[in-house]
Chains A and B, each alone.
Chain A
């Protein structure tokens, strides 16, 4: 097993695309090291990307944000402008594990681990975020919902890595929020997660909405029907009830040690509605 800590993206890509064997990117490592410890993966090459400066920065350009792939969740929480613009995305990232985990875990890592229950991904999907992917064939940008393809599987090809997460410019009178169900008050993997982002016009009619659910399918899913329940209407209790029903209807969960099918279907609707209410409050606020 080899350990490399390149200082440029191109060097990292070259290493990842190099000779045969299992190569893994190490950013926060809070998933990778657990998988190594429990023999679920035995990499031949570990590429630590935390010494690549461009991956450690958060930059904002006329309202849009670029978050380097090695930026830890704690740093997101300390970035005032990002927290003000995308409270839903930041609170989702900050729900991943304890403070110890927050100091290490990254959005890109959470995305590429491709767990259907990933906390930050529903909020990123709702926000319409995209991922900048660097690889041997150059760079490409894809919507985040297209990165994970199934539990533990991504659409990244050999030698590719996520370089940054992009968050679009937030339209006026818009807000986002993320909620999850966990048995305790901390430290659990989401049994259900719901991210909502929406925008209103001057009269308070919803002009745009995206609703994403976690842990209710083989990957995070976008639920257009739930968004339709809001778009074109003033968001009242009726609309929110229809959103909840649409969210539940879209679920195709499994029974597992964390929750039952019925529970996930029902609570997905409850959390989608509550997240929409918070997003609505935030949208009316700014």
Chain B
């Protein structure tokens, strides 16, 4: 639904959109009444627990559950036998990941599950289940997994995207290539060419709420599921398929969700809870421990990347090449394709090529983590650009401005851009006081640009007018960042009524049409435009109803600040009817009034950002501290500025953690060594400065108000911005994340021995 012709968001004066009201669901959250995944209980409820493989790679010859079944209080045990032998190809990997089939493929892979009358009995029962494992050699490093002779995870995995197709199985699921022109040709025209290898460790989304659900399946096969998820319609359809249920038989209710960031866009424990409940004939509550979340949910890829860029003395990029090696855990689908597509997306390049390898290893199946694939590649690309800027003595923002993508630029992933805001962000960053502020001793400043695609997707909204003229807005996209407030703002704007006359709720799968997951920064864009359309649908019906009351043709009635009015003098001079007037008369003039809109929304606009980071280095211990941080990002149109700022700050904070301290550490035994918040170190309040934000608004032509998704871009630039800042402070280029103190010290020592340049 494109931008309204008569509405230029830059000049149009919005009544409520752009203000900062209190969110409609806030009071419950500050009083402890809000119900999250683990906060629901049911009469006769059992407690579910999952037995997980301690081995990174092992054939499961047999699972003996007889002893466990005899333990008093145990009501059901499920294993691979309780799931269909084969499922639709698109669900094959999820099916295998939810409950191990022929092999356990990573430390933590679910092998069996128990439902019992108490947690203590369930834990004891797990210890009584005997699994006959045949331990196999394992591999967890991406480069090792690609080598011939590495232990093979899937004997049927033949690399896709390679012509002629290989004959032997390997751990390389696919080769993907993007770009245009010929980089080798471009490098010939360059004055300076820099090639470097970068590595990043796997990181986790780090949501504070572990996965949790309450499943209840009756003997008639009808099921209810209460779950914290980013997409309860996806959960319904996936669980129904994995359990051989009709979709209509399963109703899924999305609880409040305690953070997701992409990690709750798939299923892990939900099919298991449903299977246990069906077998026991009683409700089953299944909640992951924090250790299980780290070992067996969906961290993002660890990566090994080679980037080569050539520039002229004048700062023109003549050639750009990247080879990306991503491991995405035990199954195909690492975000290397999206990483490859976003690698050089910020730049207008004549010669660019990106090759991406999707590799499997004995690690948990990756799930999306906020702009999946993009942060790691931006770390590599924006680091080499920073080094080139130093080499030709050019201001880093100047170098990016000289090559910045703009309207009409052919993007490195194929299509030409329509209206975009990268140049606006670069110029806003250069003018920002932070960029000119003096630096203290042992401090460095880093710049980085970043991008994300943003998506539309299937969306349904219903808008019901209540008798008192207030509105019940029904959406189907779980609210992970305050979107209910934005929806109320857009509905109130269209209907011309105060914001607090609208209440938005997230409906269960039985009450609304199919909605795609809340992901891809899509909610404010897609659910927003669907809300606007539903409101306009309601307005049309309200005008028709007023016309009927006045006995004049419907097209002779217009809607202005919350009232139906005759469109002109010749239409009759009737007193305007407010929303409340029409609502009171609704029953007697034809029945309830509601607006609906169902769509597969397209036209999502990309969102660019530029980040500035100041880092201080303790040269004696290698410790890095962030002293100042600024986010400049294009939101198209900020509906609720506080929550747009919140996305900017949250993404930056996750990026800071990723850059400095967060990593999955696997031992030689292939087991995860730090499955907990003590040694998987997310930033705490005292680690961070205030995070300043600048909202740039270059309207997206694909949305009535110009909205662009903002949720994901904010995590793309920080890794590079901080690496550039630390490299400046340390006087040596940092090419591996996280930049832990031991690694910084070691890199500085190597530089002293002359083996590294800044």
A residues neighboring B (CB under 8 Å): 38, 181, 183-189, 191, 257-260, 262-263, 266-267, 270-271
Contact of A270 among B621, B625, B681, B683 (CB under 8 A): B621
Contacts of A262 in B (CB 8 A): 742, 746
Binary flags per residue of B599-637, CB closer than 8 Å to A gives 1, else 0: 000000000000000000000111101000000000000
Contact of A183 among B620, B681, B686, B745 (CB under 8 A): B681
Q: Is B669 an interface residue (CB 8 A)?
A: no
- State in angstroms the CA–CA spacing of A189 and B676 once bound together: 13
Contacts of B622 in A (CB 8 A): 263
Is the Cβ of B679 less than 8 Å from the Cβ of A258?
Answer: yes
Given A188-B678, A189-B678, A258-B679, are A183 and B673 also a contact pair (CB < 8 Å)? no
Contacts of A259 in B (CB 8 A): 742
Do most interface residues of chain A lie in helix, strand or loop, or is the interface mixed?
A: loop
Nearest 5 A/B pairs, CB to CB: A263-B742, A185-B686, A270-B620, A257-B673, A257-B665
Is the Cβ of B684 less than 8 Å from the Cβ of A185?
Answer: yes
Determine which residue in A183, A187, A260, A263 has the highest number of CB atoms from chain B within 10 A of its CB, and name it. Answer: A183
Given A188-B678, A189-B678, A270-B620, are A183 and B741 also a contact pair (CB < 8 Å)? yes
- State in angstroms the CA–CA spacing of A259 and B661 once bound together: 12
Is the Cβ of A257 less than 8 Å from the Cβ of B679?
Answer: yes
- State in angstroms the CA–CA spacing of A120 and B681 once bound together: 22
- State in angstroms the CA–CA spacing of A259 and B679 once bound together: 11
- A sample of 22 cross-chain residue pairs with beta-carbon separation below 8 angstroms, ordered by A number, consists of A181-B621, A181-B623, A183-B623, A183-B741, A184-B681, A184-B683, A184-B686, A185-B625, A186-B684, A186-B687, A187-B678, A187-B681, A257-B673, A258-B679, A259-B742, A260-B742, A262-B746, A263-B622, A263-B745, A266-B745, A267-B620, A267-B741
Is the Cβ of B687 less than 8 Å from the Cβ of A184?
Answer: yes
Q: Look across to chain B and name the residue whose beta carbon is closest to the beta carbon of A267.
A: B621
Contacts of B687 in A (CB 8 A): 184-186
Q: Is B642 an interface residue (CB 8 A)?
A: no
Q: Look across to chain B and name the residue whose beta carbon is closest to the beta carbon of A260.
A: B742
Is the Cβ of A257 less than 8 Å from the Cβ of B678?
Answer: no
Contacts of A257 in B (CB 8 A): 665, 673-674, 679
Give 12 A-B pairs besides A185-B686, A257-B673 with Cβ atoms closer than 8 angstroms: A181-B621, A181-B741, A183-B661, A184-B661, A184-B687, A187-B678, A188-B678, A188-B681, A189-B679, A259-B742, A260-B742, A262-B742
Q: Look across to chain B and name the residue whose beta carbon is closest to the beta carbon of A189.
A: B678
Determine which residue in B665, B742, B745 has the highest number of CB atoms from chain A within 10 A of its CB, and name it. Answer: B742
Is the Cβ of B661 less than 8 Å from the Cβ of A187?
Answer: no
Is the Cβ of A184 less than 8 Å from the Cβ of B684?
Answer: yes
Contacts of A258 in B (CB 8 A): 679
Q: Is B19 an interface residue (CB 8 A)?
A: no
Contacts of B665 in A (CB 8 A): 257
Q: Is B740 an interface residue (CB 8 A)?
A: yes
- State in angstroms the CA–CA spacing of A38 and B290 once bound together: 11
Q: Look across to chain A and name the residue whose beta carbon is closest to the beta carbon of B625.
A: A185
Q: Look across to chain A and name the residue whose beta carbon is closest to the beta carbon of B744.
A: A263
Which residues of chain B in 670-707 are interfacial with respect to chain A, using CB atoms and an 8 Å cutoff?
673-674, 678-679, 681, 683-684, 686-687
- State in angstroms the CA–CA spacing of A68 and B163 once bound together: 75
Which residues of chain B in 701-758 are interfacial with respect to chain A, using CB atoms and an 8 Å cutoff?
740-742, 745-746
Contacts of B742 in A (CB 8 A): 259-260, 262-263
- State in angstroms the CA–CA spacing of A191 and B661 once bound together: 13
- State in angstroms the CA–CA spacing of A130 and B674 once bound together: 34
Distance of B620 from chain A, by nearest CB (Å): 5
Distance of B617 from chain A, by nearest CB (Å): 14
Contacts of B683 in A (CB 8 A): 184
Contacts of A191 in B (CB 8 A): 741
- State in angstroms the CA–CA spacing of A181 and B740 once bound together: 12
Contacts of A38 in B (CB 8 A): 291
Contacts of A271 in B (CB 8 A): 621
Is the Cβ of B740 less than 8 Å from the Cβ of A183?
Answer: yes
Given A181-B623, A270-B620, are A187 and B684 also a contact pair (CB < 8 Å)? yes
Contacts of B625 in A (CB 8 A): 185
- State in angstroms the CA–CA spacing of A271 and B618 once bound together: 12
Q: Look across to chain A and name the residue whose beta carbon is closest to the beta carbon of B742.
A: A263
Which residues of chain B in 634-687 are interfacial with respect to chain A, using CB atoms and an 8 Å cutoff?
660-661, 665, 673-674, 678-679, 681, 683-684, 686-687
- State in angstroms the CA–CA spacing of A260 and B291 once bound together: 24
- State in angstroms the CA–CA spacing of A185 and B740 once bound together: 13
Contacts of A184 in B (CB 8 A): 661, 681, 683-684, 686-687
Is the Cβ of B684 less than 8 Å from the Cβ of A263?
Answer: no
Determine which residue in B621, B679, B684 has the highest number of CB atoms from chain A within 10 A of its CB, and name it. Answer: B621
Contacts of A181 in B (CB 8 A): 621, 623, 741
Distance of A3 from chain B, by nearest CB (Å): 15
- State in angstroms the CA–CA spacing of A184 and B684 once bound together: 8
Which residues of chain B in 269-314 are interfacial with respect to chain A, using CB atoms and an 8 Å cutoff?
291
Distance of B21 from chain A, by nearest CB (Å): 33
Q: Look across to chain A and name the residue whose beta carbon is closest to the beta carbon of B686.
A: A185
Contact of B686 among A186, A260, A263, A270 (CB under 8 A): A186
- State in angstroms the CA–CA spacing of A183 and B625 once bound together: 10
Contacts of B620 in A (CB 8 A): 267, 270
Distance of A101 from chain B, by nearest CB (Å): 11
- State in angstroms the CA–CA spacing of A189 and B680 once bound together: 12
Distance of A182 from chain B, by nearest CB (Å): 9
Distance of B123 from chain A, by nearest CB (Å): 8
Contacts of B679 in A (CB 8 A): 189, 257-258
Contacts of B746 in A (CB 8 A): 262
Contacts of A270 in B (CB 8 A): 620-621
- State in angstroms the CA–CA spacing of A191 and B621 once bound together: 11
Contact of A263 among B291, B681, B741 (CB under 8 A): B741
- State in angstroms the CA–CA spacing of A262 and B740 once bound together: 14
Binary flags per residue of B254-267, CB closer than 8 Å to A gives 1, else 0: 00000000000000
Contacts of A187 in B (CB 8 A): 678, 681, 684
Q: Look across to chain A and name the residue whose beta carbon is closest to the beta carbon of B674.
A: A257
Q: Look across to chain A and name the residue whose beta carbon is closest to the beta carbon of B624.
A: A183
Distance of A30 from chain B, by nearest CB (Å): 12
Q: Look across to chain B and name the residue whose beta carbon is closest to the beta carbon of A264.
A: B742
Distance of A2 from chain B, by nearest CB (Å): 16
Distance of B553 from chain A, by nearest CB (Å): 68
Contacts of B681 in A (CB 8 A): 183-184, 187-188
Distance of A132 from chain B, by nearest CB (Å): 31
Contacts of B686 in A (CB 8 A): 184-186
Distance of B419 from chain A, by nearest CB (Å): 41
- State in angstroms the CA–CA spacing of A270 and B745 once bound together: 13
Distance of B690 from chain A, by nearest CB (Å): 15
Contacts of B660 in A (CB 8 A): 183
Q: Look across to chain B and name the residue whose beta carbon is closest to the beta carbon of A38.
A: B291
- State in angstroms the CA–CA spacing of A267 and B623 once bound together: 11
Q: Look across to chain B and name the residue whose beta carbon is closest to the beta carbon of A39.
A: B123
Distance of A247 from chain B, by nearest CB (Å): 13
